[in-house]
Structure 1
């Protein structure tokens, strides 16, 4: 039987990896004729396409949603929907804020934020790991970096959740998604206006004063940049933390290694084994032939990062969650000019959260009957992980 792949298949939300394995083995270049999309699943092909921005363009955006895919995608996704040199110029406006050196300097403050959220949870000894820990820390951290007022953070988190979450089967933005995105944009405009009147030392001030090619950024450009940074800085870190927590629970022997000091390995293997971003979309700029299959110019190509990260040609015993493996070839944060700007921050946040937890608890359990997964077509993770802990 021929393998069939659709990013809208609800079963993929449960476990996409058996299908990914069949794609790699029998259909490394897969065409879904009904959706007119192509999917690449082998590590070598996905990695090469991520690095080839000339052949695999981001100009139409990295998502399939018809409401935001196309030549106007940059109005919503900013530099995530641009190719060099425009991508390079726009990304440079914010890249210094997310440099590894800048991130390292933030560790004491991030640790303070983590402890603030952990202490109430530790006192209760029973909490929801996602809503009480994983969702709160990334929002506070990215909000401080950008300059989001403290009083607005809970509402921003609520709106981001509404903007991302889809009912099962949804193939595009729902009215609720669009309404939440509009409400977020109104907040962004207000925050920037406040910084224009009262400059600070945060990224909001930088953007309010920034220019490209000698022209100040428009409100629309700033809104797109802020939307990208706030949602990506929050959503990816949140799902990474939840996935790490879940898979260590499912593999007690690996959890023991993590709690014995292998926190960084825990983060990196989670990124490989069950990465939050499952695929990115690119638009082919010329006819290409891969594995004997012709892909036409203009094709929408899904680069299946989740499949590539479990390619046995690169990772031995790839279906095993193993903190001892070499993960340096994992492509969870993409590659080439679009390598994720927030990768150092996501890694740092995850390491600190998990380190602080490992220092406080000796074991934990998750209630399997109350686990809730997020439904989107390309983000994999949880919206609820009810947890009971045993303190040290």
Structure 2
């Protein structure tokens, strides 16, 4: 594997070496190339926390997501010669590709259950699911923290959000995992995965439309009843497509963070002991450091619509930026000694869930799920050992996280 140096750096998010371990590249980018141009994709990579915070916080139309927030190489290989317009309304792509006000209006259809007060009401259900899984898993003595524990709990919640039977949680988890696999040189081809995702989601829309969409399944029913600016409504497939953010985002990230957090704590016995001393008070504190240190999402993209100058470089309309959130999480300008895991690190700002207009819809539920799964595991498991040699973290341009963390209890 070629490791970068300050003198010689070739960064491409789809390069096999980067996908296998991007962290050394991020360090050089932050120190030497905070605005790094990738000619092949006509794209700039931003690596420092403050720069990314500023760029993602802009809501004046300077940056848009018309080409997607996670475009694959097949999108980036086409170089634009000017501003990129919003997509057409029909067939409607995922609403995150639109600028205001369409993006916010469609987002509201999917957001009601994820607002702070609504999310707080889910605590007991999450706790029940976590303990049901532990009832089944602990007698085995060995299981996978990512898939068997966190994965099934998170996928069960997603099933309930979108209107699927909870007994499909394992199938949903497997489908999302398969769709997130990345190929070197290409990245995650979400478009190729959509038929699998929509095979679950489109029938939900069909059933709810036939039943009258009376609001009893909030996300699906709100999308069915939504009216676009031209007076039209979503087709079944279009409505199902708007549910992808909940379906994918709610399934794949939380399990990786939860499992990796338990691994980090077990690797620092004194920190684990400190957290155990008061699980109610200390787990939410440790959770934020766990998220900073191990959130798997690497970057999100925007397309430039208006000229923008940063560090003396002017980005032109049609060019792209990728905001390296995982690099920002290790930026010593924001976090002293960032490569050290410290459970009670003071964290004033965090970019792991994004920032600005596209801030993660499910952030409150995600934090709650991580907190409860950590607490319930630590309540019931006095001693555990991570089988590090058997853990698996496949290369990825995006969700670079531990897909499998076996644990012995």
Provide the TM-score with structure 1 as the length reference. Answer: 0.91
Q: Which residue of 1 aligns with 2:115?
A: 99
* 2-structure distance, mates of 1:127, 1:76: 41
1:172 Cα offset (Å): 4.5
1:60·1:81 contact (CA, 8 Å) conserved in 2?
Answer: yes
What is the DSSP-based 3-state SS (H/G/I as helix, E as strand, rest coil) of the residue aligned with 1:345?
A: helix
Query: What per-residue deviation string (whole Å, max 9, x for no partner) do you get for residues 166-210 of structure 1?
Result: 34x151456xx7554213213222111112233562232333333
Q: Which residue of 2 aligns with 1:294?
A: 314
Pair 123,237 (structure 1): closer, same or farther in 2 beyond 3 Å: same
Match 2:272 to one of 237, 255, 258: 255
1:256 Cα offset (Å): 2.5
Match 1:332 to one of 348, 352, 361: 352
Q: In the alignment, does 2:304 pair up with 1:284?
A: yes
Provide the TM-score with structure 2 as the length reference. Answer: 0.87
1:15 Cα offset (Å): 3.7
Pair 33,180 (structure 1): closer, same or farther in 2 beyond 3 Å: closer
Query: What per-residue deviation string (whole Å, max 9, x for no partner) do you get for residues 14-41 of structure 1?
Result: 5422321211111100012233321011
Match 1:55 to one of 45, 56, 62: 62
1:284·1:299 contact (CA, 8 Å) conserved in 2?
Answer: yes
Instruction: After superposing the two structures, state which structure 1 stretch, 341-350 or 356-365, moved more.
Output: 356-365
Structure 2, unaligned stretches of length 5 or more? 1-6, 77-83
Q: Which residue of 2 aligns with 1:141?
A: 157
1:5 Cα offset (Å): 1.4
1:286 Cα offset (Å): 2.3
Pair 365,76 (structure 1): closer, same or farther in 2 beyond 3 Å: farther
2:74·2:186 contact (CA, 8 Å) conserved in 1?
Answer: no
Match 1:269 to one of 272, 285, 289: 289
Count of residues in Structure 1 that have an aligned counterpart in Structure 2:
386
Q: Which has the higher strand share?
A: 1
Q: Over aligned residue pairs, what C-alpha RMSD do you find?
A: 2.3
Pair 33,84 (structure 1): closer, same or farther in 2 beyond 3 Å: same
Pair 36,304 (structure 1): closer, same or farther in 2 beyond 3 Å: same
1:72 Cα offset (Å): 4.9
Structure 1, unaligned stretches of length 5 or more? none
Instruction: After superposing the two structures, state which structure 1 stretch, 124-133 or 190-199, moved more.
Output: 190-199
Pair 252,35 (structure 1): closer, same or farther in 2 beyond 3 Å: farther
Q: In the alignment, does 2:194 pair up with 1:181?
A: yes
Pair 277,86 (structure 1): closer, same or farther in 2 beyond 3 Å: same
Q: Which residue of 2 aligns with 1:193?
A: 206
